[in-house]
Structure 1
Amino acid sequence: MIHELRVYHAAPKKVGLVAQRFIKHNTPIYQRLGIKVVGSWTVAIGEANDQFIYMLEWESLAEREQKWTAFLKDEEWQKIWAETDKDGALVRFASNQILQPVQAA
């Protein structure tokens, strides 16, 4: 099992719109494509309150590559992204990390 942590740094005052887009649009598309969302968060206390964070779960890197590529090419997603970013990008930049579990000694 592989977990991917994705962090979206929202444009000023747009983290709520990023979260709305994720809940209303990304999540149903992910479900249709078989992408498992572990959870999603915004920062309540901390230095970066412009972040929208979520975690995905994959069986393998090969599954991630196949399904993430399908998501990026998805026509519904392309239309939603264009529509929600028409007045300026909601996300300034994004980062992701593939996490590796720590095994107890």
Structure 2
Amino acid sequence: MKLHLLILVFLISFGVKAQKANASPIYQLRVYEIFEKNKKDFHDRFRDHAMVIMKKYNFKINSIWESKSDSKTEFVYLLEWPDEATMKKAWEGFKADKEWIEIKKQTSAKFGDLLGNIEDRTMVKTSYSPN
């Protein structure tokens, strides 16, 4: 009886681990409106401060772009997360980070608003998405 119980616990444990290992990551697309007048200051802050602090909270940035149209300039980046709960916890930590709060306060006082509209999209790959 004990052996059966031990085998059952092992199989359940293995099944949960296998399920987590096979889970597909989720992606987060962030789009920030930035301004030509202080675009360099935004990039400096993101590169030199935000990305460093994000590493403390296990942000995985896949790519970063800048997009320009006739009416606006946008900063776009793609994050990868193992799951939505991890994403939410990381963002909570980052937003509450004392260093980040102070950097934002200092750069805003020095350069004005560095961001306009912010768009945030959580995305899941379809089963037929190319790798």
TM-score scaled by structure 1? 0.87
Which is richer in strand? Answer: 1
In structure 2, stretches of 5+ residues that fail to align are 1-24
Structure 1 stretches of at least 4 aligned residues deviating more than 3 Å after TM superposition: 45-49
What residue is the counterpart of 1:93 in the other structure? 117
- Show the 5 A alignment for 1:1-105: 1-43=25-67, 46-47=69-70, 49-86=72-109, 87-104=111-128
Aligned length: 104
How big is the shift at 1:32? 1.5
Once superposed, what is the RMSD of the aligned Cα atoms?
A: 1.8
Deviations 1:35-73 (A, max 9, x none): 111121112x64465111111111111001111000000
- Going from structure 1 to structure 2, the CA distance change for 1:100 and 1:48 (only over 3 Å counts) comes to farther
Higher relative contact order, structure no. (Cα contacts within 8 Å, ≥ 6 residues apart): 1
Three-state SS of the structure 2 residue aligned to 1:14 is: helix
Q: Do 2:35 and 2:72's aligned partners in 1 also have CA atoms closer than 8 Å?
A: no
